[in-house]
Structure 1
């Protein structure tokens, strides 16, 4: 995140009286608010004449993350310094745009999944040799830093004492997961923009932003609750 984007995000957090998780990392949610005992997560974005940039390598992980996310789009002056007004998008309001991007990458995701299924025992043996068991070092050679140290231990099915070991079947699973990860990285879009024509159809927030936002979110949560009750 650039310094300018970071300043804008802080400005939006202050303007709407939002909360930022302590120790937030780049991939985490931007901010949240608690309303009627429910915590609502937000994605904060700055809007320009070209629209709103999203993320590099937009793929399945982002689609899953954004399923229940609420959005705030801040529109700034020509210098990009003063927040003029904002637009609010509920999760439902973003479905059309997100679904269009998800549909675009779906063939590549499907291809990655089918390629993963092609990994077999012979794939492991060809790479690592036929052995009674496989070591943590060999598993790390395949998975790199994709897993934490704890997960390497958790996934080991032949551990003996302090020796972390994996069966041939487990190594097949590990290679499949790595294959899916590697191929899925290609099943992405590079920073697709949300056009202003899409954003300008959303509810605008200008006066009393913190109060107005909470009313919009409360209305959405109320409607969502009624829909769930009706379909239960």
Structure 2
């Protein structure tokens, strides 16, 4: 995602500690206490401009959501949406999603969302894909037993790769949508990318999978 650099973005993120956690390692194992209400913890790796995480938080006030976005100039746009909606059940991390095992303790998270991740199509970049084995290992570590991963994309190649990656890792595929917007799926919250691709008539793929409890 390319956006114009916002030199003031980091300062604005720092002004809202109630929404933006600047050092997530300090809350490792304590995330439940950081929210005003008890509830499951769902995280989105690569939350972009925040449309999905904010929409989900509005739709599910009983769940606590954490959006992770590396690009500061993008994360501040997500913050604007959170501020406007005045949502107590959303927090934002402006950090690298590849380090989530440093931010969350074992079994602390109930669900991971991956939406329209960079496909990294070249074979030499496979390890950068958010559904590669290295990332799945991190998700499994922080998720509760039978914890879920929900993945959405417009990229057929990445979707097929992800289904294979999940299966090879020993995950169980619960539901698969080959054309989400033409299905009977209810409660779908669209991302900015999703709206853009859907307007062009592109098919949206989705899968729900979980790690089997040992």
- Higher fraction of strand: 2
Greater Rg, structure 1 or structure 2?
Answer: 1
Structure holding more helix per residue: 1
TM-score range, shorter chain: under 0.3
Q: Normalising by the residue count of structure 1, what TM-score does the alignment of the two structures yield?
A: 0.25
Query: Which of 1 and 2 has higher RCO (CA within 8 Å, sep 6+)?
Result: 1
